[in-house]
A and B are shown apart, each in its own frame.
Chain A
C-alpha cells in the first residue's frame, strides 16, 4: 500500500518532468530563429502503476523521450524542389547575362552595325564618282565596325563561358566539403542514437543535405542507425554512412580548342578509381552551370558563328565576281574561312580580307564596285559600274539565302532560307524567347518551393505563442506539484507533532 513518501516521490517526479519539459520549451524558444531547426516536444506518459488490491494507484508522470516534429515526406519534397529551384535560378541568371550581351534594343548593337555596312555600300552605289576613295573608305570603316561588334559579342560570350567554368570548379570543393561533413555527422548520429534520438544533429543533417541539394541533384536514404546515404542522380554514391566520395575538377586534355583549355571536366573519385562524370551531372547549380557552359552559351556562340559564316560566304561569293579599281584577280571582302573543317569559331576569326585591309597591306581599291562580266575596255571598275553594287552587293542584305546552322561544314549549309538581317533578328529574338521561358519557369518554381517551405514551416518551426502557452501551463503544473510536496510535508509534520 502506497504511503506518504510515495506521494512525495510522485510529486518530485512531476517536478523533474516539468523542469525537463521547461528546458525543452526554453530550447525551442532559443532556436526560434535558427534556420532548419525543428521544434521539439517532450513526450510524457503516466508512470507505471503499482497493482494494489484496493485499486491501482498511479506512480505519477514519466518522460519517455524528446521528439523532433518533422514530416519526412515534406523534407524529401523540400530537397527535390530546392534542387530544381537552384538549377532554374542559375539557368535564368545565365540567360539574363547572355541577353544583356546580345540585346539589340537599347544599345548600338549588331543590327545597327549591319545596317550601317549596307548603308555604306548603298552610298558607294549612288556615288557620282565610285573611283574616289571616300565612299570606299566608308565601306571599309563600316565593315570594320561590323567585325568589331561581332568580336565584342563573341568575346563577351566566351568570357561568360570561362566564368561559368570557374563557377563549376568553385562548386566542387563546396560539394566535397558538404559530403565529408555529412559522412562525419553520420558517425556522430549513429553513436548518439544508441542512447536517445539525436534531434539537433538530425536537424543539422537535414540542413547539410539541403545545402548539398542546392548544388547538385541527389537522392537520400536514411538507415536505421540515423545515418544517411547520398547518391548522385546517376546512382554514384557520394556518402555511404561514414565514407564520403569526392568529385574533382580536372582540366580537360581532350579539349581541342587552345583558347578554351581551361575548361574542366568533373571526375568522380571513389574507392581506388577515378572517372569522368561530366555528362552525368544533372540538376542543381552544378548541373545548370555544366549545361550552360556546354549547351546554352556554346549554343549562342555557335549561332553567332552561323550568322557570321552565312554573311561572309554570301558576301564574298558575290564580291569575288566583281572587280575593284585595279583588276588583280577575284578578291574576298572578308577573310576567307571556307577551308576550315566546320564553321565553329567563325565569329572569332571574322576579319576584313588582307587584300582590302590597309593594316594588312591591302587597299580599298580592291573593294569591288563593278561587275567583272560587264567590264569592257579600259581600266576595270575605274568608271565604276555602280549598278552592280546596287543590284548585287547591297541587295544581299534582303536577299534570301540558305543559311548555315551551328556545326555545318563550309559549302554545305543546312539552314532555312532567310535574309541576312532576318537571321540576326532571329538569333537575338531566340535568346529573348528562351530568357523569358527561363524567367517564367523560375517564377513558377519559386512559388512551388514556397508552398513546400510553407508546409515545412507549418509543421516544424517554433511558434512563440505555443511556447508561451506551454510556459504558462508548465508553470502552473510546477506550482501544483510543489503544492503536493508542501501538503505531504505538512502531513508528515502533523505526524511528527502527534508523537
Chain B
C-alpha cells in the first residue's frame, strides 16, 4: 500500500483524537468517581442502579416511619404504665378500706377523696395525646377526645365514662407489607374484659356504703383491669421489639444497597488513576512519534 504524507497526517490526527477521547472519559471517571455517569455508559447497570436507589429510598422512608412509630409507642406505653400504677394504688387503697368504718370518723372520706383522685388520674392517662397532638387511644379518630366523663362522685350521679374514639389500634408500615401496632384500642384496653373506670367507681361506692363484700368485689375487678392493662402493654412491647429488629434489619439493608450501588456505579480509583497515567504516557508518546514521523521527506536528503 502506498503511504503518503497526508495519509500519515490524517491517521496521526485521528489516532491522537481517539486517545484524547479515551483520556477525557478516564478523566471524567476520576473527577466524578463514578463509572456510570450517564445511562449509555452501561445501560444494564444503569437500570440496576436506579432500581437499587429506589429501594434505598423506600428503606430510608421505612426507617423514618419507625422513628415516628416509636414516638407513639412511647406515648402509649407511658400512658398504660401510668394507668397500671393507678390500678396498683387503687388495690392498696381497697385493702386498707376494709372495715374503714372502724377506723374513726373522716377515714372513709379521706379514702374516697383519694379514690376519686385516682379515677381522674386514670381518665387523664386514658386521654393522653401523642407529641404532635393526636389522642393515642382514639384509634383512627385521633382528633377526638378518647373518653368523656359524665357525672361526678360528689353529686348523686356516679361518674360514667364513654368511649368516643374509634375502636382500632393504629398500624404503621415498617417494611413492605409489615405492619406494627403503635397504639392500642382505648375501649379494649380500659373497658375490655373489666371496665377499669367502673372498677374504681365501684370501690368508691363500696367505701361510701362501707360494704366489705363490695370492697372485695371491687378489688377483684381492679386486679383484673390491672392485669389486662399489663397485657396490653406487653403487646405494645412486642411492637417495640419488632420495630427494633426491623430497624436493625433495615439499616443493614440500607448499607447493603449502598455498597451494591457503589460496587456498580463507582469507578475503581486505583484502576482509574493507573489508566489515567498510562493513557497520558501513551498520548505523549503518540504526540512525539507523530511529530517525528511527519517531518522528514526525501527533500531533506536531496
A32 pairs with B5, CB closer than 8 A: yes
How many angstroms from the CA of A123 to the CA of B2 in the assembled complex?
A: 74
B39 pairs with A429, CB closer than 8 A: yes
B172 within 8 A of A: yes
* A119 surroundings in chain B (CB, below 8 A): 57, 61
Would you list which residues of chain A between 222 and 240 have a CB under 8 Å from chain B? Answer: none
Stretch at the interface among A40-48, A180-188, A459-467: A459-467
A129 pairs with B54, CB closer than 8 A: no
Would you list which residues of chain A between 384 and 401 have a CB under 8 Å from chain B? Answer: 384-387, 390, 398
B40 pairs with A428, CB closer than 8 A: no
How many angstroms from the CA of A391 to the CA of B126 in the assembled complex?
A: 28
A429 pairs with B46, CB closer than 8 A: yes
* A464 surroundings in chain B (CB, below 8 A): 4-5, 297-299
Which listed residue (B6, B38, B43, B172) contacts A33, Cβ 8 A? B6
B16 within 8 A of A: no
With CB as the reference atom, state the residue of chain A lying closest to B68: A126
How many angstroms from the CA of A421 to the CA of B68 in the assembled complex?
A: 25
| Most chain B CB atoms below 10 A, which of A387, A426, A432, A463 | A432
Knowing A122-B61, A428-B50, A457-B10, the reply to whether A387 touches B38 (Cβ < 8 A) is: no
| Most chain B CB atoms below 10 A, which of A100, A104, A425, A459 | A425
B39 pairs with A472, CB closer than 8 A: no
With CB as the reference atom, state the residue of chain B lying closest to A29: B299
Which listed residue (A33, A100, A102, A425) contacts B54, Cβ 8 A? A425
Stretch at the interface among B109-117, B128-136, B189-197, B219-227: B128-136
Distance of B63 from chain A, by nearest CB (Å): 11
Knowing A111-B54, A435-B39, A468-B302, the reply to whether A126 touches B65 (Cβ < 8 A) is: yes
B3 within 8 A of A: yes
Stretch at the interface among B141-149, B152-160, B248-256: B141-149
B173 within 8 A of A: yes
* A373 surroundings in chain B (CB, below 8 A): none
A103 within 8 A of B: yes
- Counting residue pairs across A and B whose Cβ atoms lie within 8 Å, the total is 160
Q: How many residues of B contact A (CB 8 A)?
A: 57
How many angstroms from the CA of A433 to the CA of B44 in the assembled complex?
A: 8
* A457 surroundings in chain B (CB, below 8 A): 4, 6-7, 10
Bitwise interface map of A from 262 to 299 toward B, beta carbon under 8 Å scored 1, else 0 = 00000000000000000000000000000000000000
Would you list which residues of chain A between 170 and 200 have a CB under 8 Å from chain B? Answer: none
B266 within 8 A of A: no
B51 pairs with A422, CB closer than 8 A: yes
Distance of B21 from chain A, by nearest CB (Å): 10
* A95 surroundings in chain B (CB, below 8 A): 40
How many angstroms from the CA of A132 to the CA of B32 in the assembled complex?
A: 42
A416 within 8 A of B: no
B38 pairs with A432, CB closer than 8 A: yes
With CB as the reference atom, state the residue of chain A lying closest to B165: A383
A128 pairs with B142, CB closer than 8 A: yes
A431 within 8 A of B: yes
Would you list which residues of chain B between 199 and 235 have a CB under 8 Å from chain A? Answer: none
With CB as the reference atom, state the residue of chain A lying closest to B2: A458
Which listed residue (A96, A99, A132, A429) contacts B133, Cβ 8 A? A132
How many angstroms from the CA of A457 to the CA of B138 in the assembled complex?
A: 88
A131 within 8 A of B: yes
Interface of B is mostly: helix
How many angstroms from the CA of A168 to the CA of B113 in the assembled complex?
A: 94
Knowing A128-B133, A383-B144, A462-B6, the reply to whether A435 touches B57 (Cβ < 8 A) is: no
* B171 surroundings in chain A (CB, below 8 A): 387
Knowing A132-B133, A425-B47, A457-B7, the reply to whether A433 touches B40 (Cβ < 8 A) is: yes
Distance of B42 from chain A, by nearest CB (Å): 8
A105 pairs with B4, CB closer than 8 A: no
A432 pairs with B46, CB closer than 8 A: yes
* A390 surroundings in chain B (CB, below 8 A): 172-173
A382 within 8 A of B: yes
Distance of B138 from chain A, by nearest CB (Å): 8
How many angstroms from the CA of A103 to the CA of B37 in the assembled complex?
A: 9
Knowing A105-B49, A119-B61, A458-B1, the reply to whether A383 touches B43 (Cβ < 8 A) is: no
Distance of A458 from chain B, by nearest CB (Å): 4
A429 pairs with B298, CB closer than 8 A: no
How many angstroms from the CA of A458 to the CA of B4 in the assembled complex?
A: 7
B242 within 8 A of A: no
How many angstroms from the CA of A429 to the CA of B54 in the assembled complex?
A: 14
With CB as the reference atom, state the residue of chain B lying closest to A134: B132
* B130 surroundings in chain A (CB, below 8 A): 128
* B54 surroundings in chain A (CB, below 8 A): 111, 115, 421, 425
| Most chain A CB atoms below 10 A, which of B14, B53, B71 | B53
A111 pairs with B50, CB closer than 8 A: yes
Bitwise interface map of B from 163 to 204 toward A, beta carbon under 8 Å scored 1, else 0 = 000100011110010000000000000000000000000000
A469 pairs with B140, CB closer than 8 A: no
How many angstroms from the CA of A469 to the CA of B298 in the assembled complex?
A: 8
Would you list which residues of chain A between 407 and 459 have a CB under 8 Å from chain B? Answer: 421-422, 425-426, 428-429, 431-433, 435-436, 439, 450, 453-454, 457-459
* A387 surroundings in chain B (CB, below 8 A): 140, 170-171
Known: A105-B36, A398-B58. 4 other contacts (CB 8 A): A103-B38, A105-B37, A118-B61, A128-B134
Q: Which 9 A-B pairs have the closest CB atoms?
A: A432-B39, A435-B40, A128-B132, A383-B141, A128-B134, A468-B298, A463-B4, A436-B40, A464-B297
Residue pairs across A and B with Cβ atoms less than 8 A apart, 30 shown, are A99-B39, A100-B38, A103-B39, A104-B39, A104-B50, A105-B38, A105-B39, A105-B265, A111-B53, A118-B61, A127-B68, A127-B132, A128-B71, A128-B132, A128-B134, A129-B134, A387-B140, A425-B54, A429-B46, A435-B38, A436-B41, A454-B7, A459-B2, A461-B5, A461-B6, A464-B4, A468-B299, A468-B302, A469-B298, A472-B302
Interface residues of B (CB under 8 A from A): 1-7, 10-11, 14, 32, 34, 36-41, 43, 46-47, 49-51, 53-54, 57-58, 61, 64-65, 68-69, 71-72, 130-134, 138, 140-144, 166, 170-173, 176, 265, 297-299, 302
